[in-house]
Structure 1
């Protein structure tokens, strides 16, 4: 199913349709402020496994991140954050950044494996933010990669739908996506470290 949603004014009925798919254990592809993402409700274990199979990775060894609706959801899934780190996160989010933080026990066990961390995003895209807010908890997120050696990420939602329609339950057409992933900052130690430079200029 391909659903058109406009970022300037996301249609509430369409947002609820997407949320119903997520609550029923569905897997969706959606726009962010960087590249298109593929994900599901973090509480739906079977859906998480489906995403892992699509990406051909094991859940516990993957680098899936959580997209939150706002900063208030951070403390639900992370251990206490120092003031300097929180100021950095507040300065950057919503925006094209993923922060790796120490996870607390609310993060479902199937994500953690031997890891004790979680990647957190708050996207500056009204479509996915509206979906997460309506859902009531984060959605798991990973990038939609392209098999082309030159173009790493597919930006055309119709091409994404063609490629993934048999693998996912719903693709959101939110217009052309970007082809630069988020910048990833590891904040699990005292001094934050950029571990992947992507979209967004950040001085630590």
Structure 2
């Protein structure tokens, strides 16, 4: 049975987050709230955990997974970012935006897009997830917790625990999420003088970024 960690949404108890981090280091997949919806997260460098995350979502290697970072300096270690891209990233982070960027060699090939060599990255704005990232000490690989064959993410921690009790190591319960997906921007065209491409308009405001 997956463990359930009930934490305060604004001031999560460090000892409970520490227990969740220990499960991640053991190769577990954890369901956590974010500033857009619940997500599944795992250790970036754990091949078996990444495969388990894909199995739960029933997605293949062509499905873009997202790297959750604590801040822009961490993001820049995993993506090639020029000055123009950086200025836009600075406007948008932390927040409910996902950015598609060219992956650096720090990103394992198995988690970047197989043909484009790109990776989705974001710096979330959720106290629980930020504490999880801080205690983990490195980015986490993530995907929105949308059940296979469905279109909407789950938003109730107890339901998530019941449905995935044998597939995830733990569920972090901090209450419901906004249930609105991130805005996804492909920033790779900017590297050749083009403009960002909006792949999905979601919770993140485009006008706030001048788009």
TM-score, length-normalised on structure 1?
Answer: 0.93
Q: Which whole-Å CA distance do the structure 2 matches of 1:131 and 1:37 have between them?
A: 13
Contact 2:57–2:146 (8 Å) recurs in 1? no
- Aligned residue for 1:118, secondary structure, equals strand
Matched residue count: 201
Which residue does 2:57 correspond to in 1?
55
Q: Structure 1, residues 104-163: CA drift from partner, whole Å, max 9, x if none?
A: 1000121123231111111100111111121121111111115786x7122111111111
Which residue does 1:44 correspond to in 2?
46
Which residue does 2:129 correspond to in 1?
128
Structure 1 consecutive aligned stretches of length 4 or more whose deviation exceeds 4 Å:
146-149
Contact 2:57–2:147 (8 Å) recurs in 1? no
Q: Which whole-Å CA distance do the structure 2 matches of 1:133 and 1:16 have between them?
A: 10
TM-score, length-normalised on structure 2?
Answer: 0.90
Worse-superposed segment, 28-37 or 9-18: 9-18
List runs of 5+ in structure 1 lacking aligned partners. Answer: none
List runs of 5+ in structure 2 lacking aligned partners. Answer: none
Contact 2:57–2:148 (8 Å) recurs in 1? no
Which residue does 1:31 correspond to in 2?
33
RMSD: 1.5
Which residue does 1:156 correspond to in 2?
156
